[in-house]
Chain A
Amino acid sequence: MDVNIELATWSNLLIYSAMAVYAIAFITYAFDLFGGRTLKSAVRQRQSAQELAASSRVRRTTRRTGSVAVLEDDDPRSGSPADRHGEEAGNADPSTGRSRRLARVGTSLTTLALVLHAAAVATRALSVMRGPWGNMMEYALTTSALAVILYLAALKYRDLRYLGTFVSGAVLVTLGLCITVFYTPAAQLVPALQNYWIYIHVPIAILSTALLSISAALAAFQIIKAATEQRTTPRWLRFMDRVPSSENIEQVSYRIAAVGFITWTFTLIAGAIWAELAWGRYWGWDTKEIWTFVVWVVYAAYLHARATRGWGPTRVAVLNLTGFASVVFNFAVVNIYFSGLHSYSGV
């Protein structure tokens, strides 16, 4: 029953500090995404010119009917025309790269905020000498930290900095909730959670939630981008020109969701095994168990709809967002308002 109060206090202070830096990162990213005076008519012309040049070389049909690549000579172009446009448009900026510098600043600030955030998680864990996921506050704290880590890691492979505004904003809100609504003092665990399974079931759940949240953020961008691709962009959505094509975004969103789905399945199974140990049955239609299953079904529907013809990418992305809404519901509402075996909210 020994709790290091000093470390717990440090943890709270670090959360506040991380929130401050995330706030600045959010504003910086917002300027990167929405700023830039000369809007993208110049870039549009460049795009259509490249399209003509590229289509004579490689013919590639869309994903919907399966990928077909027919190579007719021995120096093919790499990547899809749409891909290249997105990245070039993002990099070539009329205002001499000013906003991309903002993106770099935003990323650095996010990294700094993450260091503070991770320190908050670590000090909280050390103050009670157990994994930092024993109640809603700690869970949200850890999941948001992991989401930022995943985002920053993904930046090494693709320029996803258009997500930066959303990621820093969402994490800021989550941390705010942690320190207010979800807040509970650092303490030991109730007996039902005192088992090694908490180091298996919960971390995988945290990983799943983080992955699915990034995938949902991408799906949201995909829908907006698809809307701008269909018709001439309204003025207030011009910032979307900086963002890669909706097909590109969709691919990333899908791959992350697929991994998140596997880990979610594992969460469900690990939870069932632990439930047998703690409550005597591996499935009891407890509220949380049901909602975890609902999330699973929605994401399964999303993956299935994507593989089937007839579901356009926008409709599929809506399924992704519905799945994520269920994840949020599972966490925020079920923990607090439904009393069941799983209510370890600490609230």
Chain B
Amino acid sequence: MAIGSLFGYSGQRVLVEGDTFANSLVAYDSFEPGTYFDADRLDDFRIRLNSFESSFDDQATGNQFGQPRTFEADITEFYEGQEIRHRLEVNQPIRIGGTGIYLTGNGYAPVFTVKDAQGTVTFSGPVVFLPQPEASGYGSRGVLTVPDAQPDQLGFVGFLLPTAGLNDDGELISRFAELHNPYVVMSAYRGDLGLDTGVPQSVYDLDADNMTAVTDAAGNPITLELTPGETVQLPDGLGSVTLEGIDRFMAVDIRHDPTQGLMLVFSILLMVGLGLSLFVPRRRMWVRTNGGEVEVAALARGEDPRVEHAARELAAELHHGARNPERPAKGH
């Protein structure tokens, strides 16, 4: 187990529909290698997520309603000059070389287009919104950063509700994990995103230290509300934000553990040995003659309920053998 950890690695990557992942260190979102792992030993492959499908239970009742039922990722693998189509599911990993690719997560990635006041596109593409554990129905949170915006850099913190609705308390929640009534709510900030400082930032958090909220004419911070296809104009000549559509993303774990097969063999051996040690009795038997009398004794190592029976069997055999010296006794 230790050797496997030393020489293996575990990495994670989020991949939006249409994107390709090439197996190299820079392409991982996070990567935990073993101490002796050498990056040159990464298998040379690429995978492309063609599409991601999921289905959730809308027939069940009670707390089973809305539970996931299927997750399927349509993947094309490019390895050693070959293109292979795969269907990646939760219990069906893709194995390429010595590497395993496991589907561990998924979610939505709304596609935004941000334009400045002149109509120049300053951002276009999907933004991964992570499903929040405490939110129902895949309520997801994400951050859209637009460093190329003019006149100020823009940052948006958004919440996506795939099926927006009101709960009993009148709060806006997502009722179901599929896109039956998609709705994105965002707050907007302007200023300096802090991307030039050289300090790495998480793409899922907005560092608003050097930013101020974008306000409307009355001085209140604005809230953008978007449905797919809608465009919202930002005040103060900052431009516009359009929600083009909503893509899916999948999250995969990519792992390599060279000692896995050995572990299996050893654990099975362990189990067999355990069974033997518990259920195979070990006994010693003695036979002592004392003139015409024969004594049979048996000693078991620890608990053995049948030791007396074994001694008696041996005594019976000897008895039989003594009475019938010509005919050999059964067994030995």
Instruction: Tell me the A residues contacting B by CB distance below 8 Å.
Output: 1-3, 60, 63, 66-72, 74, 76, 184-185, 187-192, 194-195, 197, 251, 254, 258, 261-262, 265-266, 269, 272-274, 276-283, 303, 306-307, 346-347
Give B14 Cβ to nearest chain A Cβ, in Å.
15
- Alpha-carbon distance A277/B260, docked complex (angstroms): 12
Q: What are the residues of chain B within 8 A of A274 when measuring CB–CB?
A: 91
Taken residue by residue from 254 to 295, chain B's Cβ proximity to chain A (1 for < 8 Å, 0 otherwise) reads as 110100100110011011001100110000000000000001
B57 contact from A68, A69, A187, A346, Cβ within 8 A: A187
Instruction: Tell me the B residues contacting A by CB distance below 8 Å.
Output: 1, 10, 55, 57, 59-64, 67-71, 89-93, 100, 102, 104, 253-255, 257, 260, 263-264, 267-268, 270-271, 274-275, 278-279, 295-305, 307-308, 311-312, 315, 319
Q: What are the residues of chain A within 8 A of B69 when measuring CB–CB?
A: 1, 188-191
CB distance B275 to A262 under 8 Å? yes
CB distance A68 to B297 under 8 Å? yes
Q: What are the residues of chain A within 8 A of B267 when measuring CB–CB?
A: 269, 272
CB distance A69 to B297 under 8 Å? yes
CB distance A3 to B60 under 8 Å? yes
CB distance B104 to A71 under 8 Å? no
Q: Which residue of A lies closest to B302 (CB)?
A: A307
- Contacts A69-B307, A71-B315, A185-B64; A194 near B91 (Cβ below 8 A): yes
Known: A71-B296, A307-B302. 13 other contacts (CB 8 A): A2-B59, A66-B300, A67-B304, A71-B297, A185-B63, A188-B57, A191-B89, A265-B274, A278-B90, A278-B91, A278-B102, A279-B104, A280-B93
CB distance B10 to A281 under 8 Å? yes
Q: What are the residues of chain B within 8 A of A282 when measuring CB–CB?
A: 257, 260, 263
Give me the 3 closest cross-chain CB pairs, A-B, nearest first: A195-B91, A187-B64, A69-B308
Give A249 Cβ to nearest chain B Cβ, in Å.
13
21 A-B pairs within 8 Å (CB atoms) are namely A1-B55, A1-B60, A3-B59, A66-B301, A67-B300, A67-B308, A68-B298, A69-B311, A74-B315, A184-B62, A185-B63, A190-B68, A191-B89, A195-B91, A262-B278, A266-B271, A274-B91, A278-B90, A279-B104, A280-B255, A281-B255
- Alpha-carbon distance A190/B70, docked complex (angstroms): 7
- Alpha-carbon distance A1/B91, docked complex (angstroms): 19
- Contacts A74-B315, A187-B64, A280-B104; A67 near B10 (Cβ below 8 A): no
Give A70 Cβ to nearest chain B Cβ, in Å.
5
Q: What are the residues of chain B within 8 A of A194 when measuring CB–CB?
A: 89-91
Q: Which residue of A lies closest to B89 (CB)?
A: A191
Give A268 Cβ to nearest chain B Cβ, in Å.
8
B-side interface mostly = mixed
Give B71 Cβ to nearest chain A Cβ, in Å.
5
- Alpha-carbon distance A185/B64, docked complex (angstroms): 7
Q: What are the residues of chain B within 8 A of A265 when measuring CB–CB?
A: 270-271, 274
Give B268 Cβ to nearest chain A Cβ, in Å.
7
CB distance B303 to A251 under 8 Å? yes
- Contacts A67-B308, A76-B312; A187 near B104 (Cβ below 8 A): no
Q: Which residue of B lies closest to A306 (CB)?
A: B303
Q: What are the residues of chain B within 8 A of A306 when measuring CB–CB?
A: 303
- Contacts A67-B304, A69-B298; A184 near B63 (Cβ below 8 A): yes
- Alpha-carbon distance A77/B131, docked complex (angstroms): 73
- Contacts A74-B315, A262-B275, A307-B302; A185 near B60 (Cβ below 8 A): yes
Give B44 Cβ to nearest chain A Cβ, in Å.
20
Q: What are the residues of chain B within 8 A of A72 when measuring CB–CB?
A: 295
Q: Which residue of A lies closest to B283 (CB)?
A: A67
- Alpha-carbon distance A60/B1, docked complex (angstroms): 47
CB distance A191 to B90 under 8 Å? yes
CB distance A280 to B102 under 8 Å? yes
Q: What are the residues of chain A within 8 A of B297 when measuring CB–CB?
A: 68-71
CB distance B91 to A280 under 8 Å? no
CB distance A277 to B304 under 8 Å? no
Question: Which one of A69, A74, A262 has the highest number of Cβ atoms from chain B below 10 Å of its Cβ?
Answer: A69
- Alpha-carbon distance A276/B92, docked complex (angstroms): 10
Q: Which residue of B lies closest to A303 (CB)?
A: B278
CB distance A60 to B60 under 8 Å? no
CB distance B260 to A66 under 8 Å? no
Q: What are the residues of chain A within 8 A of B302 when measuring CB–CB?
A: 66, 307
Q: What are the residues of chain A within 8 A of B257 when measuring CB–CB?
A: 281-282
CB distance B299 to A66 under 8 Å? yes
Q: What are the residues of chain B within 8 A of A2 when measuring CB–CB?
A: 59
- Alpha-carbon distance A71/B307, docked complex (angstroms): 12
Q: What are the residues of chain A within 8 A of B307 when measuring CB–CB?
A: 67-69
- Contacts A254-B303, A273-B264; A192 near B1 (Cβ below 8 A): no
- Contacts A188-B69, A191-B70; A262 near B271 (Cβ below 8 A): yes
Give A192 Cβ to nearest chain B Cβ, in Å.
5
Q: What are the residues of chain B within 8 A of A195 when measuring CB–CB?
A: 91
Q: What are the residues of chain A within 8 A of B278 when measuring CB–CB?
A: 258, 261-262, 303
- Alpha-carbon distance A98/B311, docked complex (angstroms): 40
Q: What are the residues of chain B within 8 A of A66 when measuring CB–CB?
A: 299-302, 304
CB distance B59 to A1 under 8 Å? yes
- Alpha-carbon distance A306/B278, docked complex (angstroms): 12
Give A338 Cβ to nearest chain B Cβ, in Å.
14
Q: What are the residues of chain A within 8 A of B1 when measuring CB–CB?
A: 283
Q: What are the residues of chain B within 8 A of A258 when measuring CB–CB?
A: 278-279
Q: Which residue of A lies closest to B264 (CB)?
A: A273
CB distance B301 to A191 under 8 Å? no
Q: What are the residues of chain A within 8 A of B300 when measuring CB–CB?
A: 66-67
Q: Which residue of A lies closest to B8 (CB)?
A: A281
Q: What are the residues of chain A within 8 A of B319 when measuring CB–CB?
A: 74
CB distance A307 to B100 under 8 Å? no
CB distance A187 to B67 under 8 Å? yes
B64 contact from A184, A281, A307, Cβ within 8 A: A184
Q: What are the residues of chain B within 8 A of A276 when measuring CB–CB?
A: 100, 260
